[in-house]
Chain A
Amino acid sequence: MENFDDNEIGKLLRLKRYEQPPPGYFENFLHEFHRRQRDELLRQPIWSVLWQRLSGSLFRLNLPSLTSMPAAAAAVLVCALVITLKVHQAPEGPNVAVADGNVPASHQSVLEQLSAEPVVDHFTLSSPISSRSLGPDLSRQLNERAYTHRTSSPPRYVLDRLPVSYEPSFNF
């Protein structure tokens, strides 16, 4: 008589699928599983249960996706720090003169001439300041000075004492 070959052994072993637990076993299995879960929960210390609840809540917040948040916050802080340092270390901007003080001597004569010679035409909305006639001498002097400034030194700007945004708002 021949031995069992691989094929027969396979067939014999497949018959073991017919070994089944008692009827109703799998229906009761889930109830038993729930009962054991409850028992296990009751045996756990309260801090362990609280920790599990907390970690569960954090998981629902999709914590892994939030792990990049500290990196992003650090990057923003570094950027802010760099910008701050740049602002403090940057060279002073173009010279700015205030209208009522520190007027350079080179401009003093022009200002004196402007105040000494009253402007003939009246300033109106239809006649903007750029079209006013300052007289031939004064115009030439101003133009020359402006041209000289452009070539030899950085431009200088004159600001109003108060920025427009600081002017009091109208009260009605």
Chain B
Amino acid sequence: MDQPRTDEDQPLVARAQSGDAAAFDELVIKYSPRLYGLIYNMTSNHEDTNDMLQDVFAKAYRAIKGFRGKSSFYTWIHTIAVNMTLNFLKKRGRRYHLSLDDVDASIQHDKEFIELTSTSSPVREADLTELQRRLNEAMMKLSDEHRAVVTMFHIQGMPHAEISKILGVSEGTVRSRLFYANRQLQNYLDEFRKNPVG
């Protein structure tokens, strides 16, 4: 997707490391929407996502002086977010409830949405809210690690190599998790196919 090849954030990072709070604010503004999407799709809860995102940036702020640039800032901040979210999910266990954000109305103009609603009868027959609920339920049935891979690959559009860096696993492991997660999602969504309106 838009993962930078060189660390374009280096000037901002250097300023933030020297104590420039405004530079860190710019990094927060730049990365908060993307990290929000990452955490939200792993937790399926808006309030948890909000708290987690605050904690991620607070931790990054405390740790940025120790950031040596061995990876890009993009990879570094995503690694913090994924690790903190996985830890949070382990603590939270199964005690959760879905607290979903509204689907933006601009989805009606999305090419893929138009294509899906015109060719796939389950999607065509379900309304948006139902579709969202089914998708999130299916996502939450995945293990945390598989959901993280699915979120980064399908929703955030990251390449396998970047996901492997963030998770600290091989690209083969990423592909394997993705394959397994896709099979599981197919099975969960099969119910949706059989009973489109729930």
Contacts and interface: CB of A to CB of B under 8 A. Distances in A.
A12 B29 CA distance: 28
Contacts of B58: 33, 36-37, 40
Interface string B120-159: 1111000000011001100100000000001000110100
Contacts, number: 113
| Interface range for A | 20 to 34
Majority SS at the chain B contact face: helix
Interface of A is mostly: helix
A29 B28 contact: yes
B84 interface: no
Contacts of B170: none
A15 interface: yes
Interface of B: 17-19, 25, 28-29, 32-33, 36-37, 40-41, 46, 49-50, 53-54, 57-58, 61, 65, 100-104, 106-107, 110, 112-113, 115-116, 120-123, 131-132, 135-136, 139, 150, 154-155, 157, 182, 185-186, 189-190, 193
Which 8 residue pairs spanning A and B have beta carbons closest together? Answer: A13-B154, A18-B107, A18-B104, A19-B101, A11-B112, A20-B104, A18-B103, A10-B154
Interface of A: 1, 3-6, 8-22, 26, 29-30, 32-33, 36-37, 40, 55-56, 59-60
